[in-house]
Amino acid sequence: MGEIYDRMVGDLKLKNYATSTQKNYLLYARCFVRHHMRSPAEMGEREIRDYLLSLALRQVSPAVLKMHVASLRFLYAVTLRRPEEVAWLDWPRVPRRLPDILSRDEVEALLSAVEPLLHRAIIMTAYGAGLRISEACKLQATDIDGKRGLIHVRDGKRGRDRYVMLSPRLLACLREYHRQTRPPGPYVFPGQKQGRPITPGPVGDAFKKALKQAGIRKRLTMHALRHAFATHLLEAGTDIRVIQVLLGHGCIKTTAHYAHVSARHIASVESPLDRPPPEAVPHTRRR
Among residues 25, 28, 127, 258, the one annotated as catalytic is 258
Planar angle of CA 214, 217, 223, nearest 5 degrees: 85
Nearest to 62 by CA among 86, 28, 91, 87: 91
Among residues 138, 226, 227, 232, the one annotated as catalytic is 226
Which spans in 1-90 are helix H? 3-14, 19-36, 45-57, 62-74
* 49 carries an active-site annotation: no
Sorted by sequence, the CB contacts under 8 Å of residue 72 that are 6+ apart come out as: 28, 29, 32, 48, 51, 52, 86, 89
* 187 carries an active-site annotation: no
* 138 carries an active-site annotation: no
* 169 carries an active-site annotation: no
* 36 carries an active-site annotation: no
Nearest to 198 by CA among 285, 265, 117: 117
Among residues 13, 35, 212, 223, the one annotated as catalytic is 223
Among residues 68, 73, 232, 249, the one annotated as catalytic is 249
* 258 carries an active-site annotation: yes
Among residues 68, 119, 132, 138, the one annotated as catalytic is 132
- Answer whether the bond into residue 116 is a cis peptide, omega within 30°: yes
| In contact, 29 and 21? CB cutoff 8 Å | no
Among residues 30, 66, 157, 162, the one annotated as catalytic is 157
Sorted by sequence, the CB contacts under 8 Å of residue 188 that are 6+ apart come out as: 139, 140, 141, 143, 144, 174, 178
Measured torsion, CA atoms of residues 73, 86, 3, 32, in degrees rounded to the nearest 10: 80
Give me the active site residues, please. Answer: 132, 157, 223, 226, 249, 258
